[in-house]
A and B are shown apart, each in its own frame.
Chain A
Amino acid sequence: MTEPHEPAMYLAQLHLENFRLFAYFARALPRGPLLIVGPNAQGKTSLLEAVAYLATFSSFVARTEREVIHFLALREPLAVARVRGACVRSALGNTAAEPIRLEVRIIHQARPQGGASPTRKEVLVNGVRRKLVDALGTCTAVLFVPQMLRLVDGAPELRRRFLNQSLAQVEPGYAAALAAYNRALTQRNALLKAVAEGRARAADLRVWERPLAEAAARIMQARHRALAAWNRLLLQRYRDLLNRTEPLRLVYRPALDVPEAPTQTRLFGGEEPAEPPAALLNDRQALTQHLLDRLAQRRELDLRRGNTGLGPQRDDVRFVAGGLDLAAYGSRGQVRTAVLLLKLAQAAWYTERTNSKPILLLDDLLAELDADRREELLAHFFQAGEQVLLTTTDESMYPARYRDRTEVWHLQQGQVVAAQPASGPGL
Chain B
Amino acid sequence: MPVPTSALPRPVRALIEAFERLPGIGPKSAARLALYLLRAPEEVTQALRDALAHLHRDVTYCQRCFHFTEADQPLCAICRDPQRDQTTICVVEDPLDVVALERTGLYTGVYHVLHGVLSPIEGVGPEDLRIRELEQRVQEGGVQEVILATNPSLEGDATAAYLVQRLKPLGVRVTRLAQGLPTGGDLEYADQTTLMRALLGRQELG
Contacts and interface: CB of A to CB of B under 8 A. Distances in A.
Interface of A: 77-78, 110-112, 180, 183-184, 186-188, 190-191, 193-194, 199-200, 204, 206-208, 210-211
A31 to B, nearest CB: 38
Given A77-B1, A206-B161, A207-B118, 12 more contacts: A112-B2, A180-B154, A184-B154, A187-B120, A187-B121, A187-B158, A190-B120, A190-B121, A194-B120, A204-B162, A207-B158, A208-B120
Given A112-B27, A207-B161, A186 B118 contact: no
B1 A186 contact: no
B123 A194 contact: yes
Identify the interface centre among B3, B17, B126, B158: most chain A CB within 10 Å of its CB. B158
A78 B161 contact: no
> How would you classify the secondary structure of chain A's contact residues: helix, strand, loop or mixed?
helix
Contact of A211 (B1, B123, B126, B154): B154
B142 interface: no
B70 interface: no
Nearest to A210: B161
B11 to A, nearest CB: 16
A186 B155 CA distance: 12
Given A184-B154, A187-B154, A187-B155, A200 B2 contact: no
A110 B162 contact: no
A207 B2 contact: no
A112 B157 contact: no
Given A112-B27, A180-B154, A207-B118, A77 B123 contact: no
Using C-beta atoms within 8 Å of the partner chain, give the interface range for chain B.
20 to 34
Contacts of B133: none
A112 B119 CA distance: 29
A78 B121 contact: no
Contacts of A204: 118, 125-126, 162
A221 B70 CA distance: 54
Contact of A186 (B2, B121, B158, B161): B121
Contacts of B118: 204, 207
Interface string B112-127: 0000001111010110
Contacts of A210: 161
8 contacts: A112-B2, A183-B154, A187-B158, A199-B123, A204-B118, A204-B162, A207-B165, A208-B120
Given A77-B1, A112-B17, A199 B158 contact: no
Interface in B109-158: 118-121, 123, 125-126, 154-155, 157-158
A110 B1 CA distance: 8
B186 interface: no
A251 B67 CA distance: 56
Given A187-B120, A199-B125, A77 B154 contact: no
A184 B161 CA distance: 14
Contacts of A191: 120
A111 B2 contact: yes
B31 to A, nearest CB: 11
A207 B162 contact: yes
Contacts of A194: 120, 123, 125
A209 to B, nearest CB: 10
Nearest to A176: B183
B120 A200 contact: yes
A208 B117 CA distance: 13
B188 interface: no
Contacts of B126: 204
- In order of increasing CB-CB distance, the 10 nearest A-B pairs are A112-B2, A190-B120, A191-B120, A207-B158, A207-B161, A190-B121, A207-B162, A187-B120, A183-B154, A200-B125
B6 to A, nearest CB: 14
Contacts of B123: 194, 199
Contact of B2 (A110, A184, A208): A110
A211 B120 contact: no
Contacts of A112: 2-3, 17, 20, 27
Interface string B168-186: 0000000000000000000
A200 B159 CA distance: 15
Contacts of B2: 77, 110-112
Contacts of A211: 154, 157-158
Nearest to B26: A109
Contacts of B27: 112
Contacts of A184: 154
A303 to B, nearest CB: 13
A331 to B, nearest CB: 46
A314 B125 CA distance: 28
